[in-house]
Amino acid sequence: MQQTINAREGTLTATMPIQRDLSNAGCMSKEQRVETILSIIDANRRTERCASECWAQKEHWRHKIENLVDLGEPIELVMPAFPCKSPNRETKVLGTLPDAGEALALQNLSSMAEAIHAVSPGGARVVLVADGYVFGDLVRVNDATISAYLSELRALNPNPDLVKIISLQDFFPEQLGFGAQRVALEKAFGPSCDEVRYRIEHDASTNSTYRGMKCFLTEDIGAAIRAESEGISKNGVNRICGETAAKMILRNEAFHAAIRQRFPNCVRCSVHPQPDDSKEKIGVALINRGDGWGTPWHGVLVATDIDRSVRPRIMKRIDAERSGHALVFNRDSRRPWAFAEKEPN
């Protein structure tokens, strides 16, 4: 899997190639189709270990793919993703709108969907469930900013037929405002606040998620909290981030329940690394399998047009700047777009 980008010109020049020759797709047996689909997914799989050759639950996913192929149903790879840019523009991102990271991620997802579509009797598509409206109020990003991000994201989508982008509005179209949609989501699908608080205190997995979210929020919205409450103590910031993390867990569980109801037969995917033995989700790499937990909306794209063997990668803005990488502007919009790898001496 190799990706290249002409970073210095601010344009994408290539995408993740289709992983194997599909010219004989029309002559494939069912078993060959299923194996090919699994190999395409596996080539793009994002695991908790940087390089993993062991897909412990491959047979579980084979059974699911076989059922969809037998029924002639489309294979839908559904993942919550692309919410909005992090509000931390000082150290993490370039602005509020999508940039080269999102553009390259969309092209890579389109390439994967095209490859699966070519061998699946019922076709295939990636469904991106943009979750910005779900969490925006919690991370201090207003709905207008999320709408602008989503509009630009759709404009960057190279193939809307194979990569469909939906949002909270598609789940609750009868609700007139985003605030009402969030209330409806919690009411219809969410656990109670008391249940979430109990699990944070007594369930190790929930507590680990809570602590991770709290740490993430301190980095993402800590400055905004201090700006809102002049003179607030570090403990005060931590308290607000803790309360927000608990609310995010509630919303996250509600949203995932809504997705399960809307897409009962989908191949559920995640932009985050997943364990090899997961039967619930498959981690999918957006840019580089070695990016760990990095995503385009929490970092910047660093690419090179010097050494084509070096893959683009996501890193925090402050790290790209400290490394001496050069900021590149989009050739058409003139917006900050990516960083070009520092040339070797």
Q: pLDDT tens, 80-111?
A: 999 999 999 999 999 999 999 999 999 999 99
What integer pLDDT is reported at residue 18 of this predicted model? 43
Strand ranges for 170-325 from DSSP E? 267-270, 282-283, 300-303, 313-315
**Residue 13 — very low, low, confident or very high, per pLDDT cuts 50/70/90?**
very low
Going across the sheet that includes 124-130, the strands are: 163-167, 124-130, 75-81, 267-270, 282-283
Higher pLDDT, 303 or 64: 64
For the chain, what are the domain ranges?
27-176+265-290, 190-263
pLDDT of 306 higher than 80: no
- Tens-digit pLDDT profile for residues 22-71: 556 668 899 999 999 999 999 999 887 655 567 888 899 999 999 999 99
pLDDT of 271 higher than 60: yes
CB-based contact 226:241 (threshold 8 Å): no
Q: CB atoms < 10 A from the CB of 170, how many?
A: 12
Query: Which residues pair with residue 164 across a beta bridge?
Result: 127
| Residue 85 identity (one-letter amino acid) | K
- Tens-digit pLDDT profile for residues 226-256: 988 888 999 999 999 999 999 999 999 999 9
**What is d(CA 22, CA 43) in angstroms, rounded to the nearest whole number?**
15
Whether pTM exceeds 0.85? yes
Angle at which helices 143-156 and 100-119 cross, to 10°: 50
Handedness of CA 150, 152, 156, 162 (dihedral sign): positive
**Residue 2 — very low, low, confident or very high, per pLDDT cuts 50/70/90?**
very low
Distance from the first to the final alpha carbon of the chain: 28
Composition of the chain by helix, strand, coil, percent to 5? 45, 15, 40
**What is d(CA 114, CA 94) in angstroms, rounded to the nearest whole number?**
30
Could you tell me the CA-to-CA distances from 148 to 109, 118, 141, 329 in Å, in that order? 21, 33, 11, 19
What integer pLDDT is reported at residue 290 of this predicted model? 67
| Residue 233 identity (one-letter amino acid) | S
Question: Collapsing DSSP states into helix, strand and coil, what is residue 33?
Answer: helix
**What is d(CA 156, CA 151) in angstroms, rounded to the nearest whole number?**
9
Mean pLDDT of the chain: 89
What integer pLDDT is reported at residue 83 of this predicted model? 97
- Tens-digit pLDDT profile for residues 136-195: 999 999 999 999 999 999 999 999 999 999 999 999 988 789 999 999 999 999 999 999
